[in-house]
Structure 1
Amino acid sequence: MTASRRITALATLGLLAMTAVWGSTFVLIKDVVARMPVADFLAVRFAIAALVMLLLFARPVLRLGRRQVARGLLLGVVYGAGQLLQTWGLSLIAPSVSGFATGMYVVFTPILAMLLLRQRMAGVVWLAVLLSTAGLALLSLNGVSVDLGVWLTLASAALYALHIVGLGHWSRKGEAFGLSAVQMMAIALVCLLATAPHGPMLPPDHSAWFAVLYMALIAGAGAMLMQTWAQSHLPATRAAIVMTTEPVFAAAFAVALGSDMLGWRMVVGGGLILAAMYLVELMPRRGEGSGELPAEAAHHEV
């Protein structure tokens, strides 16, 4: 295996680990937001994550040029707005429908990559997108009506796709620490503004604090760092398809913790998502036939 293939494999495994962490958080989030407002939860979570990252990575932040700092702030604002729209939509619709609508970033990502970056997509990419979407639908949907909550969540998915495309285009090798910290500061600011004028309410008890700290440090700072590093080595659409394994992990945790039963929809839906990931895993071996620019080629100045 060549060095570049090893790095690609490590980046893919890193994204898988990140989505596994995200999948483990659904039970924690559901419990905490039942006891404190969603915007306050997000503000406290991301403020802690931003503070920790700034303390740890102050030097990498200072080494970033003005252009990269501006890009990091813009990416953070986009991601923060997506978080607020997603949680607002979640308050109006069922979590399963929210999971499907959010996962539609797997469709929006290649479309935005074509429109904004003029990247070409091969048929195998669109096949993987189709398989991922079908898998998400089987995992998440059991009858759905399109209302305001769905539209808000779809808007958040479009913003997540824009963040994935932008991060894949602007992330540079060796800048993951600094760029992650700048993004987290912008996310925290967006979420803090959403709690105005009263400011964020703090978690009400020890268990809520534990959940918030886990979400801030592991599922927040750690995940952003991993995504930023991995996307400096992977094309945006490939990253998006790998990240759709999140509902598979969420379902697995739900079954393991006894809060859900293993059914055929879960097995088939998860299988389709894993099949899509397998297809994108074959892309590096197809060389130029992959139909999508490699991560390095996509990193030209704009």
Structure 2
Amino acid sequence: MNKRVLANMALLLTAAIWGFGFVAQRVGAKYIGAFTFNGIRFGLGAISLIPLILYMDSKRKRSTRVAVQKTVVETATDNILKSTILPGVLVGAVLYVAATLQQIGLAYTTAGKAGFITGLYMVFVPLFGILLRHKITKNSWAGVIIAVIGLYLLSVNEGFSIATGDFLVLIGAIFWAIHILTIDRFANSVDPLKLSSIQFATCSILSIITAFFTEVVTLEGLTGSLIPLLYGGLLSVGVAYTLQVVAQKHAKPSHAAIILSMESVFGAIGGALLLSERMSMRGLVGCGFILTGILISQMNFSPAKKKVKPALD
């Protein structure tokens, strides 16, 4: 079995972990507030990445052992602040808004619907690219139109109204798209693992501070949400993110995007199996449209250009 096949399997497992994470968040919302839940789970996520960061740093140092003088250390510290910590805090602030809207919304909607609505961020990303002067392809526009039709069938009721939970998750999907674009801005200049750990820590701190002023935390609530918290913090963040980072080194970007979009399908499966959630036929058709829109927006339909070998003299 070659590396690409193994990478695709790892990405599918990542999508499954994230998809069933909606179930964990839905269960957790029954016991503790959104800010408390996110504060703890993202705190666990930030801590879970530390061993991997230390391992990668030690591996990097062994390959490039250089004597460092005091002045160089001071300069490096200043560079770390500007190049890693500040971007991490900025991305973490956006993550805080996105995760908060999603977690509050999950208290009022199903895991299955939340999974598909959140998946719309993959359609919003190329759409928001207009603001960054990115070229929008025809398939991206087609994906947007199809996904909007699916959203209408899934969530819009008579009188053109949308349920509170679905609306919050939808706004959260917009911020997830902004989150992706913000990460993309720093992707080439910041270590991805360190950026992630800092953003998770930032989101955790902001969530805990907000929870202190807005929520009441009880031992009973923490006990009831223990498994969802461990799943959300260690599996959804620590394990799944590590799998994604490792797998995407050997997977095609287009394949990775499509496989990871299956997160919404696993969310619906998890909701049906573990929470006995059921959707109407209209809702199922809507989910189908959304998934189709997501997939079309990630596909490249333009024919590959053949490389022409230069003529030899």
Pairing of 1:12-51 with structure 2 (within 5 A): 16-51=12-47
Among 178, 195, 200, the residue aligned to 2:194: 178
Q: 2:300 aligns to what SS in structure 1?
A: helix
Match of 2:230 in 1: 213
Match of 1:295 in 2: none
1:192 positional shift: 1.4
- Measure, in 1, the Cα distance between the counterparts of 2:45 and 2:13: 19
Evaluate the alpha carbon distance shift between residue 197 and residue 183 of structure 1 in structure 2; reply closer, same or farther with a 3 A threshold: same
1:218 positional shift: 0.7
- Root-mean-square deviation (CA), in Å? 4.2
Amino acid at match of 1:246: E
Amino acid at match of 2:126: P
Evaluate the alpha carbon distance shift between residue 241 and residue 167 of structure 1 in structure 2; reply closer, same or farther with a 3 A threshold: farther
- Measure, in 1, the Cα distance between the counterparts of 2:39 and 2:224: 18
- Measure, in 1, the Cα distance between the counterparts of 2:89 and 2:285: 39
1:171 positional shift: 1.8
Say whether residues 1:254 and 2:284 are aligned partners.
Answer: no
Conservation of the 8 A alpha-carbon contact between 1:81 and 1:159: yes
1:163 positional shift: 0.7
1:212 positional shift: 1.0
TM-score (norm: length of structure 2): 0.69
Moved more, 65-74 or 118-127: 65-74
- Measure, in 1, the Cα distance between the counterparts of 2:280 and 2:168: 29
Among 121, 134, 151, the residue aligned to 1:119: 134
1:48-76 CA-to-partner distances (Å, cap 9, x unmatched) read 22223235424768998432332222111
Moved more, 95-104 or 151-160: 95-104
1:248-267 CA-to-partner distances (Å, cap 9, x unmatched) read 21222233447145764465
Match of 1:192 in 2: 208
Evaluate the alpha carbon distance shift between residue 148 and residue 259 of structure 1 in structure 2; reply closer, same or farther with a 3 A threshold: closer
1:21 positional shift: 1.6
1:213 positional shift: 0.7
Give 5+ residue unaligned stretches, structure 1.
289-302
1:275 positional shift: 3.8
Say whether residues 1:71 and 2:67 are aligned partners.
Answer: no
Amino acid at match of 1:121: I
Q: 2:234 aligns to what SS in structure 1?
A: helix
Q: 2:98 aligns to what SS in structure 1?
A: helix
1:26-69 CA-to-partner distances (Å, cap 9, x unmatched) read 33333322122221111111112222323542476899843233
Pairing of 1:1-302 with structure 2 (within 5 A): 6=4, 10=7, 16-58=12-54, 65=80, 66-91=82-107, 93-95=108-110, 102-116=118-132, 118-140=133-155, 143=158, 145-146=161-162, 152-172=168-188, 175-197=191-213, 201=217, 204=220, 208-225=225-242, 243-257=260-274, 259-261=276-278, 264-265=281-282, 268-276=285-293, 278-279=295-296, 282-283=299-300, 286-287=303-304
Conservation of the 8 A alpha-carbon contact between 1:109 and 1:240: no
Moved more, 208-217 or 169-178: 169-178
1:134-190 CA-to-partner distances (Å, cap 9, x unmatched) read 445445555562477666444322211111112234224993322221221112112
Number of positions where the alignment pairs a residue of Structure 1 with one of Structure 2? 281
Moved more, 195-204 or 120-129: 195-204
Amino acid at match of 1:123: K
Evaluate the alpha carbon distance shift between residue 225 and residue 186 of structure 1 in structure 2; reply closer, same or farther with a 3 A threshold: farther
Amino acid at match of 1:171: A
Higher-Rg structure is 2
Conservation of the 8 A alpha-carbon contact between 1:58 and 1:178: no
1:93-142 CA-to-partner distances (Å, cap 9, x unmatched) read 434765565444244312222212x1111101222233344445445555
Match of 1:293 in 2: none
The structure with higher relative contact order (CA 8 Å, sep 6+) is 2
Give 5+ residue unaligned stretches, structure 2.
61-78, 306-313
